[in-house]
Amino acid sequence: MGSIQILGAGECGLPLAHRLLRGGLPVTLVAARDAASVLDGTVTSTQLKFPRTLDLEADAGLGHWRARAPEIRGIRLAMVMEGQRVLGWSGRLSRPAQSVDQRTVFARWLTDYVDAGGELEIADPSTAELERRAARADLTVVTRASAELAAYFPVDPGWPAPGEPARRLAVFYLDGVAADPDGYGMYVSLPGLGEVISYPGFTGAPGQERCCEMLLIEALPGGPLDAFGMYESPAERWRRAVRLLGETLPADLADRYRAAELTDGGAVAVGGVTPTVRRPVGVLPSGQPILGGGDVVCRMDPGGAQGANNAAHCAADYASAILAGPAGPFDRTWMEAAAAPWLTGTAHPAARWTDAVLAPPAELQQLLMAAQGDPALANAFADTFARPADLSRLLALGAETSQQVG
């Protein structure tokens, strides 16, 4: 088997490179930054990894934080209007989730990859350069792409294409947040405003990690929570966030953050994600096919907590297909077949779940109400974050509960 190149060193590209390297294949990882630059940079999002993803990382020798990072054992869900709870319950996960700062993770994984003999190139190739690289490689997998490169992967017409973010995002990594007594994360729905999501995490340079809290404010565009300027300092953004939390959350929830401070100078990010589902095979101007993975093919708002999990499963599925060896060349037919299990089993269910969480259909709204008096239903809702393919089963359980109550 010939050479394989992977463009992008994130939640998909890095595990894929590690798996192929461990499988004895020659692989070149093309990353935009080295480990030191990643560690010194800013956060880009939140990442909540569920048990199956953590298992995949452990299987690939990448689960360095499994025994040390705080466990996220469940979800405390509240619906709040005008500062008052109108709905609230807790759902326990069957197995705990975890969240580790991607700066910590990627810096460690990049270092491990190089130490294991992996070939790493620090570059951000143009389309023309990628053409030359793809011509030399037997297979090119694109897990990170500029808008120009992403456009070579056709948008899947079977999925809605909103063309703009469903939410404007503000992310904060924090010290000094009062811990949840049971190690639960918090999900607050603010009808007409957006959501506030928070959970314990792990941050810091590899070997020097510490616990923190990760906060995501999801604002409906143009609404009161959409208040973070692109050019404010991190400290200014956090002061604004504290004020917004005090204005929108019940006092007991807002008080958790009043004494909090940013973990570091790069602990803030603002922006938005335009949800997009693309076909997994792109074609460069020369006619050379390339395989897309992770966010390049299925990009979702982080409010559904699926992005990192989706990418990890993509890496595992692609590695299995590559290591099994194609019957012929890595052509379009092989690429389509390699991507199909991930798309149908993970990516598409995750996208549907994210859409449902951000804009709950009537049956899901009824389920959320019913879960307040039904712990089993609340637990099932929490576990559907971990297994989005179970959404239909969850809705059926909710309908059954409603019939019994009626």
Mean pLDDT, range 372-383, rounded to an integer? 94
Q: Summarize pLDDT for 197-218 with one digit per residue, the tens.
A: 999 999 999 999 999 999 999 9
What is the residue-averaged pLDDT of the chain? Answer: 94
Name the residue ranges covered by the structural domains of the chain.
4-63+100-162+275-358, 71-96+164-273, 362-404
Rounded CA separation 125/130 (Å): 6
- Tokens 């011509």, located at residue: 135
Query: 289-292 and 261-262 as β-strands: parallel, antiparallel, unpaired?
Result: unpaired
Q: Summarize pLDDT for 387-406 with one digit per residue, the tens.
A: 999 998 888 887 776 555 54
Mean pLDDT, range 27-43, rounded to an integer? 96
Q: Summarize pLDDT for 318-360 with one digit per residue, the tens.
A: 999 999 987 678 999 999 999 999 999 999 999 999 999 999 9
| pLDDT value of residue 2 | 64
Rounded CA separation 46/23 (Å): 30
Q: Summarize pLDDT for 73-109 with one digit per residue, the tens.
A: 999 999 999 999 999 999 999 999 999 999 999 999 9
| pLDDT value of residue 403 | 58
Q: Are 286 and 131 in contact (CB under 8 A)?
A: yes
- At residue 92, the 3 state secondary structure works out as strand
Mean pLDDT, range 371-393, rounded to an integer? 93
Query: Is CATH 3.40.50.1000 correct for 71-96+164-273?
Result: no
Query: 27-31 and 119-122 as β-strands: parallel, antiparallel, unpaired?
Result: parallel
Examine the pLDDT at 369 and tell me if it is beyond 70: yes
Query: Is CATH 3.30.1340.30 correct for 4-63+100-162+275-358?
Result: no
Q: Report residue 235 as tokens.
A: 């400290």
| pLDDT value of residue 41 | 96
Q: How confident is the model at residue 224 (pLDDT cuts 50, 70, 90)?
A: very high
Q: Which of 257, 19, 7, 30 is nearest to 116 (CA)?
A: 19
Output DSSP code: residue 172: E
| pLDDT value of residue 42 | 96
| pLDDT value of residue 404 | 59
Q: Summarize pLDDT for 166-186 with one digit per residue, the tens.
A: 999 999 999 999 999 999 999
Sign of CA pseudo-dihedral 144, 149, 155, 161: positive
Q: Report residue 204 as tokens.
A: 């810091």
Share of the chain above pLDDT 70, in %: 98
Q: Summarize pLDDT for 275-319 with one digit per residue, the tens.
A: 999 999 999 999 999 999 999 999 999 999 999 999 999 999 999
71-96+164-273 has the same fold as 4-63+100-162+275-358 = no
| pLDDT value of residue 175 | 98
Choice between 110 and 396, residue whose per-residue pLDDT is larger: 110
- At residue 189, the 3 state secondary structure works out as strand
Rounded CA separation 302/218 (Å): 9
Cα 188 to its chain centre, rounded Å, is 19
Q: Which of 190, 252, 254 is nearest to 225 (CA)?
A: 190
